[in-house]
Amino acid sequence: MKMRFMLIALSMVAMLVSANSAKADRRIAFVAGNGAYTNMQPLPNAPISAKAMTGLLESAGFDVVQAIGFVI
């Protein structure tokens, strides 16, 4: 029990110390909209939702890389 508390406390301290280094000048997001599966019916809303999410993230200042309509 004491070891678990110590591990949690050290993890919290490490997160607080490294919080400033996590700031990034550039925010990048990857959006995948896959509606073309090989073993099931196509999902028509997946590409539409991915495009909507791309627009939302771009308006929030993200550079977005998107993959829409690939086959798994």
Let me know if residue 19 belongs to a domain.
Answer: no
Burial class (CB in 10 A: 0-12, 13-18, 19+), 50: buried
**Dist CA 47 CA 34 (whole Å):** 6
Let me know if residue 16 belongs to a domain.
Answer: no
Backbone dihedral angles phi then psi of residue 55, each to the nearest 5 degrees? -60, -40
Residue 1 has pLDDT above 70, yes or no: no
Let me know if residue 60 belongs to a domain.
Answer: yes
pLDDT, position 16: 65
The per-residue pLDDT for range 28-54, each reduced to its tens digit, is: 999 988 888 888 888 888 888 989 999
pLDDT category of residue 9 using cuts at 50, 70 and 90 = confident
Domain count, the chain: 1
Residue 11 has pLDDT above 80, yes or no: no
pTM: 0.59
Which residue range is the domain that position 57 belongs to?
24-72
Residue 64 has pLDDT above 90, yes or no: yes
Backbone dihedral angles phi then psi of residue 15, each to the nearest 5 degrees? -65, -40
Contacts of 47 (CB under 8 A, 6+ apart): 33, 35, 68, 69
Let me know if residue 55 belongs to a domain.
Answer: yes
Let me know if residue 1 belongs to a domain.
Answer: no
